Structure 1
Amino acid sequence: MAITTSKSYFWTGFREGLPFVIVVGPFGMLFGVFATEAGLNIAQTIAFSATVFAGAAQFTALQLLQDNTPTVITLASALAVNLRVAMYSASLTPYLGAAPLWQRACAAYLIVDQSYACSIVRFEAEPKLTTKQRMAYFVGCVSPVAPIWILMTYLGAVLGAQIPDSWALDFALPIAFLAMIGPMMRTLPHVIAALVAIVVALLTVQVPANLGLLIAGVAGMMAGAQAELALERHKR
């Protein structure tokens, strides 16, 4: 049965975003544990996750604060880590840019790796979707992720140091990124972009404030774009 309504697209997005709960849950719990060990109380930990809603940036900021890093450097470093979301936003603008302002504001808050990865694959596969259908799908993707992130952060904060190291909760982040990247390796430009980004990230690992990741991201996008242009010229 074909998907036609916005409601149908919401639930399709919900189902396709649901598997990410498996990795978002442990990652959220890990942050809760880390936050309480760093000296935050439960209310501060939950507020941190609910307002920032950006796992990698939260870990970066908390680690720097724990090391008594100046606030300006902490904010700049967290922003540097999270600037990939600006790239996500630019990539989604052609698909969601026609939505009402309040919907775009909500989407800006809800852009995370999982919602972007699912959405961009769907939008590229179905270019004739309406803006309303796209927004419904996007919100559906993140709907199972956001509550679990907050809930598991709370549980991690409550349990704190009682969680044994044998649980190995730190496996969640690399597994999540692998799960997102895998389905997107569909064309040669995608593969080239990924390989270039990996090589540049390794070469710039010593760049301060995690700026090497941004450099790698830009290099990967440029390489992918050039590969696209080369393929187009070859076809012509």
Structure 2
Amino acid sequence: MTPLSLTLGYVPGGTPAKWAKIWAERHPEVTLHLRAVAAADAAAEVRGGAVDLAVLRTTADTAGLAVIPLYEEMTVAVVPADHLLTAADEIAAADLDGEPTLLPLDDVVAWAGAPGTPIEHRPETTEDAIELVAAGLGALIVPQSLARLYHRKDLTYRPITDAPTCPVGLAFPEGPQSALIEEFTGIVRGRRPGSSRGQAEPAPKRTAREKTLAKQAARAAAGKVARKPGPTKRGRH
């Protein structure tokens, strides 16, 4: 018999560790495989069945998939550590006006009208673009998690206060789901162990002895109330 398993894909910068830990605690008999997938391929991997679910950026084409919103990431500008923009703790989009910028082919921000002046060459990946930022070719606009993932000592980043955020979601095929996928999506939604979908965890059933003791305690309490003397009448003076 083939052992039960579930495969969860995640894009660069995705953070599936929290849910993987909970899954391992609740279902040690079912292996959860974590598989890194490229941002551009994540949705297709789910549609094609290469992974059962995926943590991906919802700026991708998610047609045919159900998506649970997870969180919104801050958008930042990656620049050399000695760049003028590092003088402030955060910047506005207007601060990038006229600044050369890099737009990799796997861009996930999808910011229409993004500030800056894109250079003609488009690097294949965000990781390649990071190398070009270090070489002084321009700034790079990315979600904060990617700036952290590709951190280098000679680079830094600054939040762009008026930039659109970068949404992240959990995607899986539309339609009826397997019990394993339903269980995993329940974990992501915060469902507690043993609870039915969308319901709080039921109270534990009492044993026969606990029921008997409870009845005895109730009868004893009722007897005390019945025997309690009423208030005495005060005589007239």
- TM-score, scaled to structure 2: 0.24
Specify which structure has the higher proportion of strand. Answer: 2
Q: Please say which structure displays the higher CA radius of gyration.
A: 2
Specify which structure has the higher proportion of helix. Answer: 1
- TM-score, scaled to structure 1: 0.24
Q: 1 or 2 for the larger relative contact order (CA 8 Å, sep ≥6)? A: 1
